[in-house]
């Protein structure tokens, strides 16, 4: 790839950096772009008001000396920082929570889309409709189908140290995020008999997640709002049955996949859908659905690079 007289495109990724590293979603996307021939550098912002405020000046300095072809910020707050730092061309990915928070948040995002950001990516059609701006691009997060792939349940359970042959339901979400709706999951589990195990998975390194998905009989998602739900696509790539509320793009992604069920927010309905998924009793063909939708990370990387190429050609 030769762009702007260079052999490789040079892109600065901006994200929050809790614990000194980007989040798994951002890092996975960066890795897929590197694999596709893009040079990625990271600028991490310390979470919190002062962290974002201080980052504006630091980013302006880094951008001015870095000779980047473009900047790609993830989440609206990082996009605000990049816009105020004068980064151009600037791509901003809105991940879901940005848009669903409040009317004021959406109004501020719309202002930056129209005045500061060169291009904006959203993850689902619903997000685009909520913003009401036709020019934004809908590009879901991709899933690494080389890492997230089916393996035998026995090997997966041995790897995670789960020695039981009981039915296992897993819930993968960070703690203390109200939109993940752990209370609904727990209420639903109370309607099931005590021969079923429930595990809340959090703070596990991303490379371990495929083992949990292959060890489980069902992935449970009870969120009240989401963008493009990464763990659902990862579960599909591992052929793991899914029970989920109708959030983000879950219904679209799982459409037509036997063993995947959409539930209401009533605990009794969630419990009944879990029982139905357990009765299904086998792997799904979700991996084929991911491939058919071209939601593997390589194809998504190509979509993002195509957008980059247009912007760089316009510089």
The pLDDT tens digits for 159-199 are: 999 999 999 999 999 888 889 999 999 999 999 988 899 99
Whole-angstrom distance, CA of residue 113 vs CA of residue 99: 12
Same domain, 255 and 130: no
The CATH number given to whatever domain includes residue 207 is: 3.40.50.2000
Which pLDDT tens digit goes with each residue over 186-237? Answer: 999 999 988 899 999 998 999 999 999 999 999 999 999 888 899 999 999 9
pLDDT of residue 1: 39
Which pLDDT tens digit goes with each residue over 111-138? Answer: 999 999 999 999 999 899 989 999 999 9
Same domain, 192 and 130: no
Evaluate whether residue 138 is within a structural domain: yes
Evaluate whether residue 129 is within a structural domain: yes
Which pLDDT tens digit goes with each residue over 40-59? Answer: 999 999 989 999 999 999 99
Evaluate whether residue 148 is within a structural domain: no
Same domain, 282 and 166: yes
Same domain, 224 and 110: no
| pLDDT of 145 above 60 | yes
Evaluate whether residue 147 is within a structural domain: no
Evaluate whether residue 283 is within a structural domain: yes
The mean pLDDT of 71-84, rounded to a whole number, is 97
What is the percent of the chain with per-residue pLDDT over 70, rounded to a whole number?
97
Q: 69 is in which domain, residue-wise?
A: 9-142+296-313
Peptide bond into 202 cis (omega under 30): no
Same domain, 125 and 225: no
Same domain, 136 and 167: no
Same domain, 121 and 198: no
**Two tokens, residue 69:** 């072809």
The mean pLDDT of 84-93, rounded to a whole number, is 97
| pLDDT of 21 above 90 | no
Instruction: Confirm if 280 and 232 have CB atoms less than 8 A apart.
Output: no
Confidence of residue 80 (pLDDT cuts 50, 70, 90): very high
| pLDDT of 245 above 80 | yes
Evaluate whether residue 2 is within a structural domain: no
Same domain, 65 and 186: no
What residues have CB less than 8 Å from 64, skipping those under 6 apart?
A: none
Same domain, 179 and 198: yes
Q: How many domains does the chain have?
A: 2
Task: Count CA atoms within 13 Å of residue 222 on its CB side.
Answer: 26
Q: Pick the closest to residue 246 from 217, 222, 276 (CA basis).
A: 222
Evaluate whether residue 182 is within a structural domain: yes
Q: Pick the closest to residue 188 from 92, 265, 135 (CA basis).
A: 265
pTM reported for the whole predicted model: 0.90
Instruction: Confirm if 66 and 87 have CB atoms less than 8 A apart.
Output: no
Instruction: Confirm if 249 and 95 have CB atoms less than 8 A apart.
Output: no
What own/partner pairs with CB < 8 Å and gap ≥ 24 does 243-247 have?
A: 243/218, 243/219, 243/270, 243/273, 243/274, 243/277, 244/219, 244/220, 245/181, 245/184, 245/221, 245/270, 247/221, 247/223
Same domain, 132 and 157: no
């Amino acid at each position: 790839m030769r762009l702007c007289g260079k052999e490789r495109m040079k892109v600065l990724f901006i994200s929050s950096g809790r614990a000194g590293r980007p989040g798994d979603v951002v890092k996975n996307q960066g890795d897929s772009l590197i694999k596709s021939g893009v040079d990625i550098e990271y600028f991490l912002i310390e979470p919190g008001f002062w962290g974002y405020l201080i980052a504006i000046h630091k980013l302006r300095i880094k951008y001015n000396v870095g000779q980047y072809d473009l900047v790609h910020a993830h989440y609206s707050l990082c996009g605000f920082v990049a816009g105020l730092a004068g980064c151009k061309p600037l791509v901003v990915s809105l991940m879901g929570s940005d848009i669903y928070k409040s009317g004021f948040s959406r109004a501020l995002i719309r202002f930056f889309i129209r005045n500061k950001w060169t291009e904006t990516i959203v993850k689902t059609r619903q997000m685009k409709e909520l913003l009401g701006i036709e020019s934004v691009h809908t590009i879901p997060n991709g899933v690494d189908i080389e890492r997230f792939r089916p393996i035998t349940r026995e090997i997966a359970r041995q790897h995670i140290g789960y020695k039981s042959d009981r039915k296992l339901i897993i819930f993968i979400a960070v703690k203390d995020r109200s939109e993940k709706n752990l209370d609904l999951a727990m209420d639903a589990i109370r309607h099931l008999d005590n021969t079923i195990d429930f595990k809340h998975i959090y703070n596990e390194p991303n490379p371990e997640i495929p083992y949990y998905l292959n060890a489980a009989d069902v992935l449970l998602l009870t969120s009240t709002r989401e963008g493009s739900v990464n763990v659902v696509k990862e579960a599909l790539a591992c052929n793991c049955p899914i029970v989920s509320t109708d959030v983000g793009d879950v219904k679209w992604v799982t459409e037509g996949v036997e063993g995947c069920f959409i539930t209401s927010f009533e605990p009794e309905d969630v419990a009944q859908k879990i029982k139905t998924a357990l009765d299904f009793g086998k792997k799904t063909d979700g991996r084929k659905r991911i491939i058919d939708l071209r939601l593997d990370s390589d194809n998504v990387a190509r979509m993002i690079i195509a957008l980059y190429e247009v912007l760089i050609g316009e510089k």
